[in-house]
């Protein structure tokens, strides 16, 4: 599978999905007006990846900001990971939040309560 590598902009995150490494990353700001357009290729990619995933997949989410329309798309990403996990593969989500950013921590906890995949909440201390 071809990896997905997208450079971040002021409104969209940096993305690295590489099926050889099994470490996926979404990082930066995710506040586009049309988030479906941005996330659909990622969700489609995961749909293919989930057919023959690595035995272990780690996902690092390191977002500074995300808007509510991205929040639904991120849930779609997690739902694909949940399917991979359900098929007896190891999956972990590392949810990074900046020191004191309780809103971002709470957002991670929301997903953790909806998605049956192990989450690790990691505080970034400057």
Residue from 87, 100, 116, 120 that binds other proteins (CB under 8 A)? 100
Decide if residue 68 touches other proteins (CB under 8 A). yes
How far is the CA of 76 from the CAs of 98, 100, 116, in angstroms?
A: 24, 27, 13
CA terminus-to-terminus distance, the chain: 36
Between CA 7 and CA 13 the distance in angstroms is 7
Decide if residue 75 touches other proteins (CB under 8 A). yes
How far is the CA of 115 from the CAs of 14, 31, 109, in angstroms?
A: 23, 22, 10
Decide if residue 34 touches other proteins (CB under 8 A). yes
Q: Which is nearer to other proteins, 19 or 78 (CB)?
A: 78
Between CA 110 and CA 69 the distance in angstroms is 15
- Return the number of other C-beta atoms located less than 10 Å from residue 124's C-beta: 11
Of 16-24, 46-54, 86-94, 107-115, which segment contacts other proteins by CB under 8 A? 107-115
Decide if residue 125 touches other proteins (CB under 8 A). no
Of 14-22, 51-59, 60-68, 80-88, which segment contacts other proteins by CB under 8 A? 60-68
Residues found near other proteins in the complex (CB under 8 A)? 10-11, 31, 33-36, 65, 67-69, 71-73, 75, 98, 100-101, 103, 106, 110, 113-114
């Amino acid at each position: 599978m071809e990896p997905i590598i997208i450079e971040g902009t002021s409104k969209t995150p940096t993305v690295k999905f590489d099926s050889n490494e099994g470490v996926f990353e979404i990082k930066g700001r995710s506040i586009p007006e049309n988030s479906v357009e941005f996330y659909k290729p990622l969700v489609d990619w995961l749909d293919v990846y989930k057919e023959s995933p690595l035995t272990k997949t780690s996902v690092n989410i390191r977002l500074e900001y995300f808007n509510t329309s991205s929040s639904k798309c991120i849930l779609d990403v997690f739902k694909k990971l949940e399917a991979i996990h359900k098929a007896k593969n190891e999956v972990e989500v590392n949810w990074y939040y900046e020191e004191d950013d309780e809103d971002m921590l709470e957002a991670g906890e929301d997903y953790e309560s909806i998605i049956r995949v192990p989450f690790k909440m990691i505080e970034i201390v400057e």
